[in-house]
């Protein structure tokens, strides 16, 4: 965490005043069970809640995906804001004044530059929109009106037009922006040492992130046939076509009414659906739907209806989109449009009510995948049937519920003509093969008594009543030893402090200690004694070996006597601990 810019005392007060349960309740519905609050994780998709909030320790942890942190990191992830903006947001909710930030100059410089790029994009969007509404934008306006886009939708989506190559350049330079800043923001391109509007002679669609900031543009050529039909802003510090989603800002507002997104192919499809009242319609920036898109989308909805064009290319695009969505656990349905229409054409021809009916009756994802596989094979050819069934086995093996899987086994049997029992045998064979070929890798870096050290340190960190003090040298694992040193040096602080001083997200050892599940330990007092004894025995055996070497190499008689006495005491302690361990089993 970037915490050098504010005093530790002030940050502690902010975290104290921003109770983690109250803050997370702004985003999730929490259910209390004992001393822990539970919800479905907002960072991955699940049906059974595994996202735990610990009010006493002021931290959260998801047992499904491993996400963990304190109140600041939670809001950062949910809002997509940086540290300073997150702190300001929390302070506003807590009614606290924010002191001046005195931190990393490089961090402040990067933040200031990002704000500059956002301001340039915002002013560019205003310019394009004003041009569209003026007489200079008649060509762009007529195009949109001809496509059935009304003035209300144009305003809602901030649509614009660029009628010249230099108009935007002159406008922004007059506002005081520098030439290089316009290039860095992606609104201008450079050729032969001259800069020009990157969206010249195009209808412009501003791309707005989920926080309402304009970060880039997509432009649709309408006059010059030599242009590529669509052009996106180049990759910048604030925009990347492989991760930004068109109209994600409107989806965020719409999610309270509709907890699903309608994923369509292009901007004009989104425009048509938004105008028809589907405020949860989104699209990528002309790229295949990928894990970056999924990560963004997962903050806001649990389900997606995929609706691409009804032609073959559209069906292929749907198939490509399903994999990343399925891997993240989204509930997916597929809307197939008749007559090879696209959503824009369907809405114009049949209206929004008919489209809503299609959504309500959208095809389950597994049915689509099986039908799509069938379309790729000539099932009139007997040689193609085994290939189709093999492809479907891969689909069937991903279906978790047995009852649901049975439905699709029957569907594959019906389409292929292969008996259900034969398909079931193939499926079972493929599963057994996968199990027998799977090996469990040994975890690197785990020492002999790693689990014992883990339990002891977790007990100390969480201030369990059975926890006793430990000698620092009893720890062998360096990460755990360093964490114990930190606890000693900081007078055993609250768990939430660790998220400020360590990169918890990327430390498997520390994360495991923070989120240790004590409920699995039947007799924790006895377990602690046994674990501590194992650690002490291991420490004594190491010391015994070292003392033995010192005795062999010692030439000083008095020193040798002292070492022999120490070796004798170590032997007695080893016998005592071994006796204790034998008693506890």
pLDDT tens track of the chain, all 585 residues? 445 588 888 998 999 999 999 999 998 899 998 888 999 888 877 778 888 998 888 889 888 777 888 999 999 988 888 899 999 999 999 999 999 888 778 888 988 999 999 999 999 999 999 999 999 999 999 999 999 999 999 999 999 999 999 999 999 999 999 999 999 999 999 999 899 999 999 999 999 999 899 999 999 998 877 688 899 999 999 999 989 999 999 998 887 678 899 999 889 999 999 999 999 999 999 888 888 898 888 888 889 999 977 566 666 667 777 778 877 778 899 998 888 888 888 999 999 999 999 999 999 989 988 998 998 899 889 889 999 999 999 899 888 788 889 999 999 999 999 999 999 888 877 755 544 343 334 344 456 788 899 999 999 988 888 888 788 888 888 888 888 888 887 788 888 878 877 777 777 888 888 888 888 888 888 888 889 988 998 888 888 888 888 877 778 878 877 877 888 788 888 888 888 777 665
Structure tokens at 171: 């406008």
**CB neighbours of 531 closer than 8 A, spacing ≥ 6?**
449, 451, 452, 453, 455, 456
What is the CATH class of 291-434? alpha beta
**CA 37 to each of CA 24, 44, 517: distance values in angstroms, whole numbers, following the listed order:** 10, 18, 15
The three-class DSSP label of residue 140 is helix
User: Do β-strands 214-221 and 160-162 pair in parallel, antiparallel, or remain unpaired?
Assistant: unpaired
Run of H or E including 178: none
- Phi, psi (degrees; rounded to nearest 5) at 221: -70, 135
Q: Which of 82, 240, 227, 115 is nearest to 162 (CA)?
A: 227
Structure tokens at 365: 């994802």
**CA 356 to each of CA 276, 297, 346, 350, 361: distance values in angstroms, whole numbers, following the listed order:** 10, 21, 11, 11, 9
Structure tokens at 53: 């909030």
Helices and strands in the chain, H and E counts: 25, 16
384-396 and 365-375 helices, crossing angle to 10°: 160
Beta strand ranges found along 110-241 (DSSP E): 160-162, 188-191, 194-197, 202-208, 214-221, 230-232
C-beta of residue 297 within 8 angstroms of C-beta of residue 261: yes
| pLDDT score, position 437 | 42
Structure tokens at 335: 């809307």
CA atoms within 13 A on the CB side of 401: 6
- 8-state DSSP, 246: B
- 8-state DSSP, 525: H
| pLDDT score, position 5 | 82
Run of H or E including 83: helix 83-94
| pLDDT score, position 181 | 97
Label each residue of 276-322 as H, E or C.
CCCCCEEECCCCCCCHHHHHHHCCCCCEEEECCCCCHHHHHHHHHHH
The three-class DSSP label of residue 70 is coil
Please work out, in degrees rounded to the nearest 5, the angle formed at the alpha carbon of residue 50 by the alpha carbons of 48 and 55.
Answer: 135
312-327 and 365-375 helices, crossing angle to 10°: 140
Using CA atoms of 22, 26, 29, 33 in order, give the dihedral in degrees to the nearest 10: -10
C-beta of residue 202 within 8 angstroms of C-beta of residue 221: yes
- Phi, psi (degrees; rounded to nearest 5) at 478: -60, -40
Backbone angle region of 38, left / alpha / beta, with phi > 0 → left and psi within -120 to 50 → alpha: beta
Pairwise CA distance, residues 370 & 358, whole Å:
20
Cβ atoms < 10 Å from Cβ of 92: 11
| pLDDT score, position 136 | 96
Structure tokens at 289: 């739907």
Pairwise CA distance, residues 6 & 101, whole Å:
6
Pairwise CA distance, residues 125 & 206, whole Å:
6
Structure tokens at 454: 């883990």
For domain 107-232, the question of CATH label 3.40.50.2300 is answered with: no
C-beta of residue 423 within 8 angstroms of C-beta of residue 413: yes
Q: Which fold has domain 8-94?
A: DNA Primase; Chain A (3.90.580)
User: Do β-strands 188-191 and 303-306 pair in parallel, antiparallel, or remain unpaired?
Assistant: unpaired
In the chain, how long is the greatest CA-to-CA distance?
A: 104
Which residue intervals of 438-523 are DSSP H helices? Answer: 450-461, 478-489, 498-501, 508-514
**CB neighbours of 567 closer than 8 A, spacing ≥ 6?**
544, 547, 548, 551
Pairwise CA distance, residues 188 & 179, whole Å:
9
Which residue intervals of 134-164 are DSSP H helices? Answer: 138-146, 151-157
| pLDDT score, position 152 | 97
| pLDDT score, position 479 | 83
| pLDDT score, position 441 | 40
Pairwise CA distance, residues 84 & 76, whole Å:
10
- Is the overall model pTM greater than 0.85, yes or no? no
């Amino acid at each position: 965490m970037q915490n050098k810019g504010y005093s530790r005392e002030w940050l502690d007060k902010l975290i104290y005043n921003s109770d983690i349960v109250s803050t997370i309740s702004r985003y999730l519905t929490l259910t209390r069970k004992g001393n822990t609050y539970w919800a479905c994780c907002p960072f991955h998709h699940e049906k059974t809640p595994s996202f735990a909030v610990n009010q006493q320790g002021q931290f959260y942890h998801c047992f499904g995906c491993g996400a963990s942190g304190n109140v600041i990191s939670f809001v950062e992830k949910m809002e997509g804001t940086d540290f300073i903006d997150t702190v300001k947001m929390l302070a506003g909710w807590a009614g606290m004044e924010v002191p001046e930030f005195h931190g990393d100059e490089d961090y402040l410089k990067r933040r200031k530059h990002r704000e500059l790029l956002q301001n340039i994009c915002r002013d560019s969007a205003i310019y394009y929109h004003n041009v569209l509404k003026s007489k200079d934008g008649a060509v762009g306006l007529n195009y949109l009106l001809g496509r059935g886009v009304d003035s209300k939708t144009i305003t809602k989506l901030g649509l614009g037009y660029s009628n010249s190559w230099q108009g935007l350049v002159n406008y922004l330079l007059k506002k005081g922006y520098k030439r290089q800043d316009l290039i860095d923001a992606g609104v201008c391109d450079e050729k032969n040492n001259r800069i020009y509007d990157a969206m010249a002679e195009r209808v412009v669609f501003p791309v707005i992130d989920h926080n309402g900031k304009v970060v880039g543009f997509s432009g649709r050529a309408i006059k010059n046939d030599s242009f590529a039909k669509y052009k996106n802003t180049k990759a910048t510090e604030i925009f990347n076509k492989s991760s930004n989603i068109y109209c994600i800002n409107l989806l965020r507002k719409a999610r309270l009414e509709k907890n699903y997104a309608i994923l369509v192919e292009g901007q004009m499809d989104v425009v048509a659906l938004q105008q028809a009242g589907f405020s949860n319609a989104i699209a990528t920036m002309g790229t295949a739907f990928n894990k970056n898109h999924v990560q963004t989308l997962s903050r806001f909805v649990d389900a997606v209806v995929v609706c691409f064009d009804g032609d073959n290319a559209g069906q292929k695009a749907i198939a490509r989109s399903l994999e990343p969505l399925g891997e993240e656990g989204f509930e997916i349905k597929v809307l197939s449009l008749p007559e090879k229409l696209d959503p824009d054409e369907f809405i114009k021809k049949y209206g929004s009510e008919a489209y809503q009916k299609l959504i309500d009756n959208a095809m389950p994802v597994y049915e689509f995948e099986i039908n799509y596989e069938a379309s790729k094979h000539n099932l009139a050819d007997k040689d193609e049937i085994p290939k189709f069934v093999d492809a479907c086995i891969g689909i069937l093996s991903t279906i978790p519920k047995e009852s649901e899987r049975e439905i699709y086994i029957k569907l594959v049997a019906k389409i292929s003509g292969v008996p259900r029992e034969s398909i079931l045998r193939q499926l079972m064979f493929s599963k057994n093969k996968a199990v027998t070929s799977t090996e469990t890798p040994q975890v690197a870096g785990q020492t002999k008594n790693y689990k014992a050290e883990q339990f002891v340190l977790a007990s100390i960190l969480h201030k369990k009543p059975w926890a006793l003090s430990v000698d620092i040298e009893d720890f062998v694992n360096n990460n755990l030893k360093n964490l114990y040193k930190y606890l000693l040096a900081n007078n055993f602080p609250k768990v939430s402090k660790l998220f400020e001083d360590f990169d918890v997200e990327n430390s498997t050892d520390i994360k495991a200690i923070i989120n240790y599940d004590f409920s699995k330990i039947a007799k924790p007092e006895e377990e602690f004694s046994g674990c501590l004894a194992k650690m002490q025995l291991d420490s004594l055996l190491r010391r015994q070996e070292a003392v033995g070497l010192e005795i062999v190499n010692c030439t000083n008689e008095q020193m040798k006597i002292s070492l022999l006495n120490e070796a004798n005491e170590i032997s007695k302690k080893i016998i005592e601990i071994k006796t204790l361990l034998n008693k506890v089993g």
